[in-house]
Chain A
Amino acid sequence: MAIQVTLDRLLQERGMTLTELSERMGITLANLSVLKTNKARAIRFSTLESLCRELDCQPGDLLAYDASDAAPDS
């Protein structure tokens, strides 16, 4: 997937664990792990809002685009 979620970098910078973040957000650890390991297919705006609020960041800080991983045009 070309869109990468840089959650682990932000967690390290904030000195927060994934478990702590999941408790603050009210989202399951399993779902956050899907996000952290870049297995997610989509993210809801509500989840993005919650992440930005708890990590005190902008959406652009969380998401990165890697052109080399982009799917070819059909």
Chain B
Amino acid sequence: MQPYRAARALRVLIILITLAYFVVWVTGTIVLLGGPAVKLLAAPESADWKFALPIEVEMPDSQAALGTRWSAGQIEITDVRGSVRLPIPAMSWGLFGLLWTYLAMTFALMLLFLHHLRGVLHRTRDGAPFHPDNAGRLRLLGLLALALALLQSVAGFLASLAVSRGLADSGIRVPTGIHVDETQVMFGLVLLTLAEVFRRGAELEHEQSLVV
């Protein structure tokens, strides 16, 4: 790889990560300040402001008569999934508080993740990718990814418990088990593995610096 290309890719990556950091920061601020404002100021019957719960529900199978260009017949609609959105003004303060806390923790973890990812890139840009700081940051990134997966699992489980009772007579199925996002867990494990690789890299670089 040409050195110039590597440097440009790094600069682009730094710009993208920095942009993502500020987008999350601004979005988080708007959502976390706007939510309580809507709860306090909007009319209780207002359905304009909704909060999406971190769960997926399953709709009952259904059938419909449908005429197609080939023939008339019955079609079967199965495995329909959807999300649950609750109107914020109609929510109890307890439920709103829990959901707000979940959102605040999610935004905080995302901001921490992006902040440390920027740190890794800046060290790399400065010519010291295998610095012990980067090994520490990658380990923290791995732990943050796993923490996010855990937070989403716990939040989803609690939300499903809260919602399943209310939807019991509607025929809509709410999976109440603990669901873990395997992709996110694997991502966290990959980062932890990279952290160990970088830690060894830092040791080798230190040894190299002692070669005169």
Of all chain A residues, which has the CB nearest B210? A41
Residues of B within 8 A of A43 (CB): 211-212
For residue B182, CB closer than 8 A to chain A, the reply is no
| Chain B CB within 8 A of A18 CB | no
Query: In the docked arrangement, what's the CA distance between A42 and B211, Å?
Result: 5
Interface centre among B207, B210, B211, B212 (most CB of A within 10 A): B212
Of the stretches A8-16, A28-36, A53-61, A65-73, the one at the interface is: A28-36
Closest chain A CB from B4 CB (angstroms): 27
- Report, as a range, how many residues of chain A touch the other chain: 10 to 19
Binding site for B on A (CB under 8 A): 27, 31-32, 34-35, 39-44, 47
**21 A-B contact pairs sorted by A residue (CB < 8 Å):** A27-B212, A31-B212, A32-B212, A34-B210, A34-B212, A35-B212, A39-B210, A40-B210, A40-B211, A40-B212, A41-B207, A41-B210, A41-B211, A42-B210, A42-B211, A42-B212, A43-B211, A43-B212, A44-B211, A44-B212, A47-B212
Extra contacts, 16 of them, besides A34-B210, A43-B212, A44-B212 (Cβ < 8 A), are: A27-B212, A31-B212, A32-B212, A34-B212, A35-B212, A39-B210, A40-B210, A40-B211, A40-B212, A41-B207, A41-B210, A41-B211, A42-B210, A42-B211, A42-B212, A43-B211
